[in-house]
Amino acid sequence: MNLEQAKNRTEELKPLLKYYTQKYYDDEQVISDHEFDMLMLELKQIEKEYPELITPDSPTQNIGTGSTKKGFEKVEHEVPLQSLQDVFSFEDVDEFLEKMEKAAIEYSRPIDYVVETKIDGLSSSLEYRNGKLWRGATRGNGLVGEDVTQNISTIKTVPKELNEPISITVRGEVFIGKTDFDKMNEERLMEEQEQFANARNAAAGSLRQLDSKITASRPLNIFVFNVQKSDEITFETHYESLIYLEKLGFNVNPVKILCKTRQEVIQAIESIGKMRDELDFGIDGAVVKVNDLELREKVGTTFKTPKWAVAYKYPPEKKETLLKDIICQVGRTGAITPMAILEPVYVAGSKISKTTLHNEDYIKENDIRIGDTVIIQKAGDVIPEVVGVNKEKRDGTEKVFEMPKTCPVCGAEAIREEGEAVVRCIGIECPAKSYRSIIHFASKDAMDIDGLGESIIAELIDRNLISNISDIYNLTFEDIASLKKNGKKFAQNMIDAIEESKHRELYRLINSLGIRHVGVKLAKTLTKYYKTIDKLMEASYEELRMIEDVGEITAQTIYDFFKQDQTIDLINKLKNANVNMKVIEETNKDNRFEGKTFVLTGALEHYSRDEASEIIESFGGKTSSSVSKKTDYVLAGEEAGSKLKKAQELGINIISEEEFISMIN
């Protein structure tokens, strides 16, 4: 590579590395650690060959480019939280050790080392005054971090008071252990929430929550590994300081190997590499540190890294294992996800026995079969996934997998809609969906059962008092009163709310059933054409398709839903509970807004948008979310935005809230 080529490549690498670094500090890992390390190493090698290309803003020269998160106070670190020099071979380690040995001879100091695990988490500092936790802060860019005292104090392994009344600042790594991380992701998978990409991002995102209750709900841990500052006590060696930190009550990094020779250092790195699978916390390397603190002072640091330490980075792992079976799990919204059941294998420090296969397209595109020898990767400690198949090991007994046509939990029809990759169970009484189905049924826009919130529903299910929607109407006063101490008033209010829900409008009942693509607005439209639930259940696909705002997919969804045995069974049970099944006709109906379309924008003083929309619809009008030539009125409140501007451009009639009140009165 000549100078011109080197210059062009550095101009490509610098902004790219800055972008990836910023994403990393924002808890969004775009590429794996190994891929990032290789790009950084390439830049370092170019700058080593052509020093004239080194600029002050180069990622190799800065401590970090991470920014503080809005909502947190900034903290200037009295002692910078520097990063470490990464090395990727034992030759590089040996070169570092040789330099340190020469320095020890030059300064007449003893030479030994401490090799520690490099925890993959979020580096943070803890400040104590007179033995009591005073402040916790994230590393940030190494010079300025974020004040996360309230959050960090929720971590059980962070001592609130030390065993001695000493003032001291220490550095540690906040992380989530492997077992806790796997459990947390399994729970999110069942909840159909987005899974965390890796334990490091999960830990960082959890510590940097603006709501400390969220932080407290996450299984965070911390290992302390360094004394940053203390005016009250001094140490001769790093190892001595670690022992003292344990005495104070800190949760100190458990893997710290004292080494006398180069050979012992290499053996320690190899030993840590072998024990990665057994550790219940993620590591992305082994750190080699000079033990003698005075020698450290003599050797010094660069602006970015200390010269007396390096981090050996282990290469990413790929492992082969047997795909024993493919099973399907049903999430709480009905999504059916294929899961690979694997012969257990350790990859990047985690024991992997199963992983998602995403959807049937992913399985077909990668030609994954039951009985295959598959390749598992967890580079950068991301969620493990099947990245390939060793087809040379096939013996003809492998089986092609097909997604089920019915739900594996309840037996209802499983449907994949056009344009979607997900197969879904449409059974409304499916046990896998019951919790979410009941929450939606009782919600404000549905049957609006006051007091029947998520926590109460969860407790009712846990106590086997309800298992599906219709069970709500079988609850007794005693059932509900048993949920709370002195719960008689609570129980009576709940019984009254359940009884009141039986008299809701038909559109609320339709919305409460959770039919895919059917919300409040479309439910109201359906009641204009079908005055009873029975009429809607009898509607053909062709009839539904003719209704305004009902497309082909939605029409098919509604038709399929009402043909399910589970749906028919639920409706019959609700009828037996005397739940209203027809449009409640209003006398002296005022249709003053019939044929008129309103768009609401900005904040109203006297009404919420939902309340204003209901008023418009009660007078026969309709609302829309966007302004077009078909819009009749734009109701504009305070701080109205782009919709108001578009209405002005199109010459649409713009009315204020006062004018709207005059129109309805």
Judge if 187 and 291 occupy the same domain: yes
Q: What does the alpha-carbon distance between residue 198 and residue 204 come to, in Å, rounded to a whole number?
A: 10
Inside any domain, residue 171:
yes
Judge if 505 and 357 occupy the same domain: no
Q: What does the alpha-carbon distance between residue 501 and residue 499 come to, in Å, rounded to a whole number?
A: 5
For residue 14, give the CATH number of its domain: 1.10.287.610
Summarize pLDDT for 285-316 with one digit per residue, the tens: 999 999 999 999 999 998 889 999 999 998 77
Mean pLDDT over 174-182 rounds to 90
Q: What is the pTM of this model?
A: 0.51
> What is residue 90's three-state secondary structure?
helix
For residue 95, give the CATH number of its domain: 3.30.470.30
Q: Are 271 and 95 in contact (CB under 8 A)?
A: no
Q: In this predicted model, which residue has the larger pLDDT, 59 or 371?
A: 371
Structural domain that includes position 11: 3-53
What pLDDT does 381 receive?
Answer: 47
What pLDDT does 197 receive?
Answer: 67
Judge if 218 and 171 occupy the same domain: yes
What pLDDT does 468 receive?
Answer: 92
Judge if 261 and 347 occupy the same domain: no
Q: What does the alpha-carbon distance between residue 611 and residue 614 come to, in Å, rounded to a whole number?
A: 5
Judge if 499 and 618 occupy the same domain: no
What pLDDT does 380 receive?
Answer: 46
Q: In this predicted model, which residue has the larger pLDDT, 375 or 63?
A: 375
Judge if 17 and 111 occupy the same domain: no
Tell me the pLDDT band of 617, cut-offs 50, 70 and 90. Answer: confident
Q: What does the alpha-carbon distance between residue 113 and residue 166 come to, in Å, rounded to a whole number?
A: 27
Give Cβ neighbours of residue 12 (< 8 Å, ≥ 6 apart). Answer: none
Helices and strands counted in the chain (H then E): 24, 24
Judge if 322 and 289 occupy the same domain: no
Which residue among 514, 545, 576 closes a domain? 576
Q: What does the alpha-carbon distance between residue 140 and residue 206 come to, in Å, rounded to a whole number?
A: 15
Average the pLDDT over each of 11-15, 207-211, 633-637 and give the range with the smallest value: 11-15
Choosing from 118, 289, 304, 524, the catalytic residue is 118
Q: Could you identify the residue written with the tokens 């500092």?
A: 125
Domain count, the chain: 5
Q: What does the alpha-carbon distance between residue 627 and residue 629 come to, in Å, rounded to a whole number?
A: 7
Q: Catalytic: 183?
A: no
Mean pLDDT over 174-185 rounds to 89
- Ramachandran area for residue 355 (φ above 0: left; ψ -120 to 50: alpha; else beta): beta
- Ramachandran area for residue 393 (φ above 0: left; ψ -120 to 50: alpha; else beta): alpha
Mean pLDDT over 182-211 rounds to 81
- Ramachandran area for residue 349 (φ above 0: left; ψ -120 to 50: alpha; else beta): left
Mean pLDDT over 552-563 rounds to 93
What pLDDT does 65 receive?
Answer: 46
What pLDDT does 64 receive?
Answer: 47
Summarize pLDDT for 252-282 with one digit per residue, the tens: 999 999 999 999 999 999 999 888 878 889 8
Q: Are 175 and 196 in contact (CB under 8 A)?
A: no
Summarize pLDDT for 387-409 with one digit per residue, the tens: 899 999 999 999 999 999 999 99
Give Cβ neighbours of residue 585 (< 8 Å, ≥ 6 apart). Answer: none
Q: Quick check: 63 pLDDT over 80?
A: no
Q: Quick check: 27 pLDDT over 60?
A: no
| DSSP structural state of residue 586 | P
Judge if 327 and 294 occupy the same domain: no
Inside any domain, residue 216:
yes
Query: In sequence order, what DSSP letters do the residues of 396-433 get, joined into one string?
Result: S--EE----SB-TTT--BEEE-TT-S-EEE--TT-TTT
Q: What does the alpha-carbon distance between residue 168 and residue 280 come to, in Å, rounded to a whole number?
A: 29
Summarize pLDDT for 70-125 with one digit per residue, the tens: 678 999 999 999 999 999 999 999 999 999 999 999 999 999 999 999 998 999 99
What pLDDT does 545 receive?
Answer: 92
Judge if 137 and 162 occupy the same domain: yes
Q: What does the alpha-carbon distance between residue 633 and residue 635 come to, in Å, rounded to a whole number?
A: 6
Judge if 106 and 231 occupy the same domain: yes
What pLDDT does 29 receive?
Answer: 55
What pLDDT does 31 receive?
Answer: 64
Judge if 165 and 262 occupy the same domain: yes
Query: In sequence order, what DSSP letters do the residues of 468-509 get, joined into one string?
Result: SGGGGGG--HHHHHTTSTT-HHHHHHHHHHHHHHTT--HHHH
